[in-house]
Structure 1
Amino acid sequence: MRKTYFQSLTSLRVFMILLNLIIVMFYGTIALLTTKYIIQNHIARDFLDEVSYIPHHPMLVFLGSILMFAILSYIIYYRSEHEIVNKKMNIIYNGIEFIVCAMIIYLLYMGYNGIILLVFCDCIYHLKDDKYSKWLLTAMVFVYLFASYDVFSAFVPMTNMQQYMLVYDASIRSMLMIGKNILETCNLLLFIVFIIVYIAQQMQENENITKELSMIHQVNQELRNYAAITEKIGENNERKRLAREIHDTLGHALTGIAAGVDACIAMIDINPAATKKQLQVVSKVVREGIGDVRNSLNKLRPGALEAHGLKGAIEKMIEEFADVSDLEIYLNYQLEQVDFEKTKEDVLFRIIQESITNALRHGGADRIDIDIYQQDDILILKVQDNGVGCKDIQYGFGLKQMSERVAIINGTVMYDGDNGFLTVVKIPIQRGENYGKSIDC
């Protein structure tokens, strides 16, 4: 379809070039032959009395206009055969075409300005997608409207081409006027057809773009649905895995503890020594169960926390976000002497991760400042971005999860969307306690 479109425009341009060549030769020939006719019939004095200014040499008009048109045709042909990618060069070529076109019109005494339509068509053919083309085309429309003898002769002295036709008798003059009108009308019709084909193709391209955008929207919707389904499947699989972990660890331990306690209740009055041994066995089962539960929970922690600790994990996460986006993330970590329990580390890490994701996805931010410090017995985390913010904060899944995580460790969280988006988390900590070790049950 697009190939046929360009072939149609190319064919129309070729017809316009041939027709304009005929018109230029028509006007040049009138100037040349009429001058010869005036000389042969000794009516030069009468002719000069009728014209306001001395005309150019007829050979200059005839050969000059044809030479200028040959240059214009070559430029059009060269641009068709050699695709010019550089936009500035395209503008320069159009400027040259415009100058040559103006010279042809001037040589023909402003009697024919339809050649501007040819240059106009060549411009939109090559610059139809360029943002500067509208200015050049506007200038050409302006020139076309004012490039006439009546307007131009008020500023530049010149002969009227109509005076050449008035030399002949009525029958010849009528034939010349009819030929002139037919040629110029054909040129205008070719121009109109060219514009119709061009506009029709633009409308078709816009329709195709609309269809493609609709298809892209549909594909995106299907991908979102697929992602939602995948997330649900992942959640279900995670639930099943957690259920198996609880069944295999905590469930097994509690079952053994219950059986051991029941045995102790039955033996405590009969055989205290055996009861003591049984309680030792129960104690061992309890400790093993605690160890199994701790191991299961550790498997849920981010791998970066296990490998690098809280600060190292945050720095690694910041580096990963910086590698895949234009975000500038600045970390101010002032907890060098503080050691957390693993639950609090997990919460802080996940909140920072969610805040960065929200700033990138929803806020359109390019800078995030993260501050982590201790004030008295309160650990404070601030995450501030320079995104669009949100005056009416809606608690979606991410913000709800962050609030729930903080509530688990008896902390508070506050959101402010007036100037970018600010998340402030406050978590109580205890002095003098080593939180690097998990708390035993």
Structure 2
Amino acid sequence: MESNRNLNYINLFMIFINFAIIVFISQIMTTTLYKISSAFMARDFFDQITVIPWKPENITIVSIGAYIILILLIMLKNKYIDSLKKFQISALLLCEIFLSVAIMTALNMSYNGIMLFIIADLVTNTKDKSNKVIFLVLMIIIYILSVYDFISLKIKMVSFQDFLFYYNANMRSYLMEIKSILSTINIIIFILYMIVSIQAQMRENEKITSLNRKLNLANEKLEVMNVQLKDYAVKIESMAETRERNRLAREIHDTLGHALTGISVGIDACLTTIDMSTEATKKQLNIIADVARQAIKDVRRSVKKLRPDALESSGLEEALNNMISQISKVTKTKVFFNANIKLLKFGHDEEDTIYRIVQEGVTNAIRHGQATEIYINMIRRDKQLNITIRDNGKGCADVKKGFGLRHIEERVKLLNGTAEYNSSDGFLITVNIPIRWGDESD
């Protein structure tokens, strides 16, 4: 911020010093011409020069007017430079060069320091590197060549010294010294501006380098944290699996273990009493049957805890419709569901498998295939339930079975079914499950 403020102050001083020099030279030339005319010294003056000079008022109007337009043009360009296109910036830079040449021409090439001001603005405010290099080279060439001694070899013009013909030797020396001092000040201010600009750029580069180091360090820490997080996730997953295994082990121990122990002991008792008392054996078998029935209830209760909530509160088809409706609401994917399973009844394990297959198929189509349309069909073919899930997603050249697809296969195999995949056109999942429970009417 401080560097930018210093650059603005120096820039304002450059604008002022250039304006002072242009006004000084143009007024010396204009005043001299008027004085020569008033003193009837025109013939002596024309004997000293090789070309007729501009009219006095034209010198002032062109030099000062072009400088004011130049300053306004630079301010306008810098204000809107971020929204300007490359060719527009190039056109504005060409206009700046044209106005600078017009000023130097009006002053008969007695001052070319205006090009330093243009160069300073170009270096600081032009961001496009190609534009900057091209116009910087062009401006430096113009600055080097735009001196009276060189230009006067090709183009006849009146030098600043010729305009001092009217004054005595002391006044001529005094005026030349003022011009020299003003030009030197302009050069010093230009050098100071460039030094401050370079220092500001160096500090900016140091800040960027420092930020890059911090960013790289943060990325390294983030990578380490990601590895740690993955390890932690694996541990958490392992702990969750362990807890679930322990819970299932407890359930089996508390239900089947207890029941099977009682049944085993009861059967042993029956083997002992069957030859001695049929009635006692029947009584014992009834007790064993009660234990077995209670064990079945306990197992069903444990299995229900593993079921999707949707299947607990509604039937299979309603649960599927609700799931599809929810997906359609939260995504832009259209899901078309056609089922002909109303006359079929399923066990809990079959319902769980069908529900999970549809759920996983729809999730894969949206997440991996980026599908916008999904078609789900369920029909009965002989003694098989055929499920197809087809989408219009991007598919894949080689089907790599992740956890989801392997999970579908494992569930289907438990029911003695088959699962197939095809990714030639979108992605297609085909599942066939034997109908175990039969028709509702059976």
Q: TM-score, normalised by structure 1?
A: 0.73
Cα distance change on mapping 1:219 and 1:144 into 2, 3 Å: same
Match of 2:25 in 1: 30
Q: Between 59-68 and 363-372, report the one with greater CA deviation.
A: 59-68
Asked if the contact 1:304/1:313 (under 8 Å) is kept, the reply is yes
Deviation at 1:328? 0.9
- Mapped partners of 1:40, 1:183: distance in 2: 34
Once the two structures are superposed, residues 217-273 of structure 1 have per-residue CA deviations (whole angstroms, 9 ceiling, x without a partner) of 444433333332222221111111111111111112111111111111111111111
Q: How does 1:18-417 map to 2 (within 5 A)?
A: 18-37=13-32, 40=35, 43=45, 49=51, 56-62=58-64, 65-66=67-68, 69=71, 91=83, 99=92, 102=96, 105=100, 108-109=103-104, 111=112, 112-113=114-115, 114-115=117-118, 117-118=120-121, 121-122=124-125, 134=128, 139=131, 142-146=134-138, 167=162, 181-321=187-327, 326-337=331-342, 338-361=344-367, 363=368, 365-377=370-382, 378-417=384-423
What is the aligned-residue identity percentage?
Answer: 28
Q: Is the 8 A contact 1:331 1:369 kept in 2?
A: yes
When residues 28 and 250 of structure 1 are mapped into structure 2, their CA distance, relative to the original with a 3 A threshold, is: farther
SS of match in other structure, 1:57: helix
Q: Which structure would you say has the larger Rg?
A: 2
CA distance in 2, matches of 1:429, 1:419: 29
Deviation at 1:402, TM superposition (A): 2.0
**2:369 and 2:426 in contact (8 A); partners too:** no
**1:52 and 1:352 mapped to 2: Cα distance?**
92
Q: 1:127 matched to which residue of 2?
A: none
Task: Work out the CA distance in 2 between the residues paired with 1:59 and 1:386.
Answer: 74
What SS is found at the alignment partner of 1:382?
strand
Q: Residue 142 of structure 1: CA displacement? A: 4.7
What's the secondary structure of 2:399's corresponding residue?
Answer: coil
Shift of the alpha carbon at 1:23? Answer: 3.6
Is this contact kept in 2: 1:406–1:413, CA < 8 A?
yes
Deviation at 1:407, TM superposition (A): 0.6
Give the C-alpha shift of residue 421 in structure 1.
3.7
User: What's the CA shift for 1:277?
Assistant: 1.5
What is residue 15 of structure 1 aligned with on the other side? 10
8 Å CA contact 1:32, 1:62 repeated in 2: no
Contact 2:335 2:375 in 1 (8 A): yes
User: Deviations along 1:390-439, whole A, 9 cap, x unmatched?
Assistant: 4333333333222111110111112334544433222222684339x9xx
Query: For the residues of structure 1 that align with 2:55 and 2:252, how far apart are their CA atoms?
Result: 108
- Contact 1:359/1:421 (<8 A) preserved: yes
Residue by residue over 1:187-212, the C-alpha shift from the partner in whole angstroms, topping out at 9 and shown as x without a partner, is 44444444434444344444444344
CA contact (8 A) 1:165 1:176 kept: no
Q: Which runs of 5+ in 1 are unaligned?
A: 1-5, 80-87, 125-133
Instruction: Measure, in 1, the Cα distance between the counterparts of 2:420 and 2:56.
Output: 89
Q: Using the TM superposition, give the Cα deviation of residue 311 of structure 1 relative to its aligned residue in structure 2, in angstroms.
A: 3.0
Distance 1:187 1:47 in 2: 38
Provide the aligned length of Structure 1 versus Structure 2. Answer: 403
- Cα gap change, 1:190/1:107 in structure 2, threshold over 3 Å: closer, same or farther? farther
State the one-letter code of the partner of 1:345: E
> How many Å separate the matches in 2 of 1:433 and 1:17?
94
User: Which residue type is aligned with residue 3 of structure 2?
Assistant: S
Q: Secondary structure at the match of 2:276?
A: coil
**1:11 Cα offset (Å):** 3.1
Amino acid at match of 2:83: I
Q: Distance in 2 between the 1:351 and 1:48 partners? A: 101
Instruction: Identify if the C-alpha distance between structure 1 residues 241 and 223 changes in structure 2 by more than 3 Å, giving closer, same or farther.
Output: same
Mapped to 2, the partners of 1:65 and 1:45 lie a distance apart of 32
Deviation for aligned residue 1:50: 8.0
Q: Closer, same or farther in 2 for the Cα pair 1:21/1:399, shift >3 Å?
A: farther
From the superposition, tell whether residues 431 and 242 of structure 1 become closer, same or farther in structure 2 (CA, over 3 Å): closer
Q: Higher mean Cα deviation, 219-228 or 93-102?
A: 93-102
Equivalent position SS for 1:49: coil
Distance in 1 (CA, whole Å) between partners of 2:137 and 2:180 is 26
C-alpha displacement at 1:382, in angstroms?
Answer: 2.9
Whichever residue aligns with residue 10 of structure 2, its letter is: F
Deviation at 1:54, TM superposition (A): 10
TM-score (norm 2): 0.73
Cross-structure match for 1:128: none
Deviations 1:345-393 (A, max 9, x none): 21122233333444455x2614251412215133233334455544333
- Looking at structure 1, the residues matched to 366 and 378 of structure 2 have their Cα atoms a distance apart, in angstroms, of 24
**Which residues of structure 2 form unaligned runs of 5+?**
37-41, 106-111, 146-150, 165-171
| Residue 70 (structure 1) shift | 6.7
